[in-house]
Amino acid sequence: GQQLNQSPQSMFIQEGEDVSMNCTSSSIFNTWLWYKQEPGEGPVLLIALYKAGELTSNGRLTAQFGITRKDSFLNISASIPSDVGIYFCAGHSTSGTYKYIFGTGTRLKVLA
Amino acid sequence: GAVVSQHPSRVICKSGTSVKIECRSLDFQATTMFWYRQFPKQSLMLMATSNEGSKATYEQGVEKDKFLINHASLTLSTLTVTSAHPEDSSFYICSARDLTGRETQYFGPGTRLLVL
Protein backbone atom coordinates (compact mmCIF):
# COMPACT_ATOMS: atom_id res chain seq x y z
CA GLY A 1 0.00 0.00 0.00
CA GLN A 2 0.85 3.67 -0.14
CA GLN A 3 3.43 4.89 2.40
CA LEU A 4 5.05 8.10 3.49
CA ASN A 5 8.77 8.70 3.25
CA GLN A 6 10.20 8.76 6.74
CA SER A 7 13.81 9.49 7.63
CA PRO A 8 16.15 8.51 8.95
CA GLN A 9 15.48 4.77 8.84
CA SER A 10 17.46 4.21 11.98
CA MET A 11 19.47 6.17 14.51
CA PHE A 12 22.02 5.26 17.14
CA ILE A 13 22.54 8.07 19.61
CA GLN A 14 24.11 8.68 22.98
CA GLU A 15 21.91 9.21 26.01
CA GLY A 16 21.25 12.91 26.49
CA GLU A 17 21.41 13.79 22.80
CA ASP A 18 18.53 15.34 20.88
CA VAL A 19 16.83 13.42 18.07
CA SER A 20 15.03 14.65 14.99
CA MET A 21 13.07 12.66 12.42
CA ASN A 22 10.70 13.69 9.67
CA CYS A 23 8.09 12.51 7.23
CA THR A 24 7.30 13.79 3.77
CA SER A 25 4.45 13.07 1.44
CA SER A 26 3.51 13.87 -2.12
CA SER A 27 -0.05 14.45 -0.93
CA ILE A 28 -1.52 17.13 1.29
CA PHE A 29 -2.62 15.91 4.67
CA ASN A 30 -5.09 17.36 7.15
CA THR A 31 -3.85 15.43 10.15
CA TRP A 32 -0.48 14.10 11.23
CA LEU A 33 -0.05 11.59 14.03
CA TRP A 34 3.17 10.37 15.60
CA TYR A 35 3.38 6.95 17.27
CA LYS A 36 5.97 4.94 19.14
CA GLN A 37 6.03 1.16 18.93
CA GLU A 38 8.00 -1.15 21.20
CA PRO A 39 8.73 -4.79 20.32
CA GLY A 40 5.67 -7.03 20.41
CA GLU A 41 3.28 -4.20 21.16
CA GLY A 42 0.89 -1.96 19.28
CA PRO A 43 1.81 1.65 18.45
CA VAL A 44 1.14 4.23 21.15
CA LEU A 45 0.00 7.71 20.15
CA LEU A 46 2.50 10.41 21.07
CA ILE A 47 1.32 13.59 19.39
CA ALA A 48 -1.54 14.58 17.08
CA LEU A 49 -1.38 17.61 14.76
CA TYR A 50 -4.38 19.12 13.01
CA LYS A 51 -3.36 22.46 11.49
CA ALA A 52 -0.58 23.59 9.16
CA GLY A 53 2.18 25.22 11.19
CA GLU A 54 0.96 23.70 14.45
CA LEU A 55 3.72 22.99 16.95
CA THR A 56 2.81 20.65 19.81
CA SER A 57 4.80 19.28 22.72
CA ASN A 58 4.38 16.23 24.90
CA GLY A 59 7.07 16.27 27.58
CA ARG A 60 10.42 15.98 25.83
CA LEU A 61 8.73 15.41 22.47
CA THR A 62 7.87 18.18 20.04
CA ALA A 63 6.21 17.77 16.67
CA GLN A 64 5.26 20.21 13.95
CA PHE A 65 2.81 20.14 11.08
CA GLY A 66 4.61 21.55 8.04
CA ILE A 67 3.33 24.73 6.41
CA THR A 68 3.03 22.98 3.04
CA ARG A 69 0.91 20.27 4.74
CA LYS A 70 3.12 17.69 3.10
CA ASP A 71 5.55 17.11 5.93
CA SER A 72 5.96 16.82 9.67
CA PHE A 73 8.85 16.39 12.05
CA LEU A 74 9.29 14.95 15.53
CA ASN A 75 12.02 16.02 17.92
CA ILE A 76 13.03 14.26 21.12
CA SER A 77 15.18 16.27 23.49
CA ALA A 78 17.65 14.85 26.00
CA SER A 79 17.07 11.23 25.00
CA ILE A 80 16.97 8.50 27.62
CA PRO A 81 17.28 4.71 27.26
CA SER A 82 13.50 4.17 27.40
CA ASP A 83 13.11 6.23 24.21
CA VAL A 84 14.25 3.14 22.32
CA GLY A 85 11.67 1.94 19.84
CA ILE A 86 10.29 2.51 16.38
CA TYR A 87 8.65 5.84 15.67
CA PHE A 88 5.99 6.06 12.98
CA CYS A 89 4.33 9.04 11.43
CA ALA A 90 0.85 8.74 9.97
CA GLY A 91 -0.99 11.15 7.73
CA HIS A 92 -4.64 11.52 6.93
CA SER A 93 -6.32 13.24 4.05
CA THR A 94 -10.03 13.95 3.82
CA SER A 95 -10.02 13.29 0.10
CA GLY A 96 -11.21 9.86 -0.94
CA THR A 97 -11.85 7.14 1.64
CA TYR A 98 -10.92 7.71 5.24
CA LYS A 99 -7.69 5.98 6.22
CA TYR A 100 -4.29 6.84 7.57
CA ILE A 101 -1.12 6.32 5.58
CA PHE A 102 1.90 5.24 7.64
CA GLY A 103 5.53 6.13 7.34
CA THR A 104 8.21 3.47 7.05
CA GLY A 105 9.36 4.06 10.62
CA THR A 106 12.48 5.33 12.35
CA ARG A 107 14.24 2.80 14.56
CA LEU A 108 15.85 4.58 17.50
CA LYS A 109 18.53 3.09 19.71
CA VAL A 110 19.91 4.98 22.67
CA LEU A 111 23.33 4.11 24.04
CA ALA A 112 23.71 4.69 27.76
CA GLY B 1 -5.63 8.35 25.96
CA ALA B 2 -8.37 6.04 24.77
CA VAL B 3 -7.97 2.31 25.26
CA VAL B 4 -8.28 -0.38 22.63
CA SER B 5 -7.93 -4.04 23.57
CA GLN B 6 -7.22 -7.09 21.47
CA HIS B 7 -7.76 -10.74 22.22
CA PRO B 8 -5.96 -13.05 22.10
CA SER B 9 -2.51 -11.51 22.44
CA ARG B 10 -0.92 -14.51 20.81
CA VAL B 11 -2.20 -17.67 19.19
CA ILE B 12 -0.63 -20.78 17.73
CA CYS B 13 -2.75 -22.90 15.46
CA LYS B 14 -2.46 -25.74 12.99
CA SER B 15 -2.56 -25.14 9.28
CA GLY B 16 -6.12 -25.25 7.94
CA THR B 17 -7.83 -24.00 11.08
CA SER B 18 -9.56 -20.65 11.48
CA VAL B 19 -8.58 -18.04 14.03
CA LYS B 20 -10.71 -15.20 15.33
CA ILE B 21 -9.18 -12.01 16.73
CA GLU B 22 -11.29 -9.50 18.66
CA CYS B 23 -10.74 -5.76 18.83
CA ARG B 24 -12.61 -3.66 21.37
CA SER B 25 -12.71 0.04 22.08
CA LEU B 26 -13.07 0.21 25.85
CA ASP B 27 -13.96 3.81 26.59
CA PHE B 28 -15.31 5.23 23.36
CA GLN B 29 -17.54 4.21 20.50
CA ALA B 30 -15.84 3.45 17.22
CA THR B 31 -17.88 3.43 14.04
CA THR B 32 -14.68 2.72 12.16
CA MET B 33 -11.92 0.30 13.05
CA PHE B 34 -8.91 -0.74 11.04
CA TRP B 35 -7.00 -3.98 10.73
CA TYR B 36 -3.28 -3.93 10.00
CA ARG B 37 -0.68 -6.55 9.44
CA GLN B 38 2.95 -6.06 10.34
CA PHE B 39 5.92 -8.19 9.33
CA PRO B 40 9.17 -8.07 11.32
CA LYS B 41 11.02 -4.79 10.99
CA GLN B 42 8.40 -3.36 8.65
CA SER B 43 5.74 -0.72 8.87
CA LEU B 44 2.05 -1.34 9.35
CA MET B 45 0.15 -2.35 6.25
CA LEU B 46 -3.55 -1.62 6.22
CA MET B 47 -5.61 -4.70 5.40
CA ALA B 48 -9.13 -3.40 5.70
CA THR B 49 -11.41 -0.77 7.14
CA SER B 50 -14.15 -2.15 9.35
CA ASN B 51 -17.39 -0.15 9.38
CA GLU B 52 -20.04 -0.69 12.03
CA GLY B 53 -23.20 -2.10 10.51
CA SER B 54 -21.83 -2.43 6.99
CA LYS B 55 -19.34 -4.40 4.95
CA ALA B 56 -15.64 -3.92 5.44
CA THR B 57 -13.55 -2.19 2.81
CA TYR B 58 -10.52 -4.25 1.85
CA GLU B 59 -7.23 -2.95 0.52
CA GLN B 60 -5.98 -4.12 -2.82
CA GLY B 61 -4.49 -7.58 -2.64
CA VAL B 62 -6.24 -8.59 0.59
CA GLU B 63 -8.61 -11.53 0.13
CA LYS B 64 -11.94 -10.75 1.74
CA ASP B 65 -12.90 -14.42 1.89
CA LYS B 66 -9.65 -15.21 3.64
CA PHE B 67 -9.82 -12.41 6.18
CA LEU B 68 -13.41 -12.09 7.36
CA ILE B 69 -14.27 -8.91 9.22
CA ASN B 70 -17.36 -8.31 11.29
CA HIS B 71 -18.15 -5.03 13.05
CA ALA B 72 -21.38 -5.85 14.81
CA SER B 73 -21.32 -3.14 17.47
CA LEU B 74 -19.81 0.27 18.09
CA THR B 75 -17.14 -1.23 20.34
CA LEU B 76 -16.26 -4.56 18.72
CA SER B 77 -14.71 -5.66 15.45
CA THR B 78 -13.50 -9.17 14.73
CA LEU B 79 -11.03 -10.48 12.19
CA THR B 80 -11.22 -14.16 11.30
CA VAL B 81 -8.32 -15.70 9.43
CA THR B 82 -9.93 -18.61 7.64
CA SER B 83 -8.07 -21.80 6.74
CA ALA B 84 -4.85 -20.34 8.06
CA HIS B 85 -1.54 -21.27 6.47
CA PRO B 86 2.04 -20.67 7.65
CA GLU B 87 2.35 -17.62 5.39
CA ASP B 88 -0.47 -16.02 7.39
CA SER B 89 1.78 -15.96 10.45
CA SER B 90 2.23 -12.32 11.37
CA PHE B 91 1.49 -9.59 13.89
CA TYR B 92 -2.07 -8.35 13.46
CA ILE B 93 -2.98 -4.98 14.96
CA CYS B 94 -6.32 -3.25 15.10
CA SER B 95 -7.04 0.41 15.62
CA ALA B 96 -10.16 2.38 16.33
CA ARG B 97 -11.13 5.80 15.09
CA ASP B 98 -12.05 8.10 17.96
CA LEU B 99 -14.33 10.98 17.03
CA THR B 100 -14.59 12.24 20.62
CA GLY B 101 -13.11 15.73 20.55
CA ARG B 102 -10.45 15.95 17.85
CA GLU B 103 -10.31 12.94 15.63
CA THR B 104 -7.54 10.45 16.09
CA GLN B 105 -6.77 6.75 15.96
CA TYR B 106 -5.78 4.45 18.81
CA PHE B 107 -4.16 1.05 18.43
CA GLY B 108 -4.68 -2.21 20.21
CA PRO B 109 -1.72 -4.15 21.62
CA GLY B 110 -1.61 -6.55 18.68
CA THR B 111 -2.05 -10.30 18.20
CA ARG B 112 0.85 -12.52 17.27
CA LEU B 113 -0.36 -15.38 15.05
CA LEU B 114 1.79 -18.42 14.39
CA VAL B 115 0.45 -21.03 12.01
CA LEU B 116 2.26 -24.36 12.12
Contact A31 B57 (CB under 8 A): no
Task: Kindly report the average pLDDT of chain A as a whole number.
Answer: 92
pLDDT tens-digit profile of A24-73? 998 889 899 999 999 999 999 999 999 999 999 999 999 999 999 999 99
For B77, counting Cβ atoms within 10 Å of its Cβ (0-12 exposed, 13-18 middle, 19+ buried), the class is buried
Q: B82 versus B2: which is more confidently predicted?
A: B82
Asked whether B106 and B98 are in contact (CB, 8 A), the reply is: yes
When scoring B28, B94, B105 by the number of chain A Cβ atoms within 10 A, the one with the most, hence best to mutate, is: B105
- What Cα–Cα distance (Å) separates residue B64 from each residue in A106, B19, B20? 31, 15, 14
What pLDDT, on the 0 to 100 scale, is given for residue A2?
61
Query: Which residues 60-99 on chain B approach chain A with CB closer than 8 angstroms?
Result: 60, 91, 93, 95, 97
Q: What is the DSSP string of A7-62?
A: E-SEEEEETT--EEEEEE-SS--SEEEEEEE-TTS--EEEEEE-STT-EEEETTEE
Cβ pairs A/B, distance under 8 A: 58
Give contacts of B45 with chain A, Cβ < 8 Å.
1
Could you tell me which chain A residue has the CA closest to the CA of B46?
Answer: A1
Give contacts of A1 with chain B, Cβ < 8 Å.
45-46, 59-60
What pLDDT, on the 0 to 100 scale, is given for residue A57?
97
Give contacts of A104 with chain B, Cβ < 8 Å.
43
Q: B94 versus B55: which is more confidently predicted?
A: B94
pLDDT tens-digit profile of B66-116? 999 999 899 999 999 999 999 999 999 999 988 776 778 899 999 999 999
CB atoms within 10 A of CB A52: 16
Considering only CA atoms, which of A15, A23, A44 is closest in space to residue A108?
A15
| B29 Cα to chain A: minimum distance (Å) | 17
Q: B60 versus B72: which is more confidently predicted?
A: B60
**Statement: residue A105 has pLDDT above 90:** yes
Nearest to B104 among A33, A97, A105 (CB): A33
Contact A98 B6 (CB under 8 A): no
What pLDDT, on the 0 to 100 scale, is given for residue A94?
66
Nearest to A50 among B57, B102, B105 (CB): B102
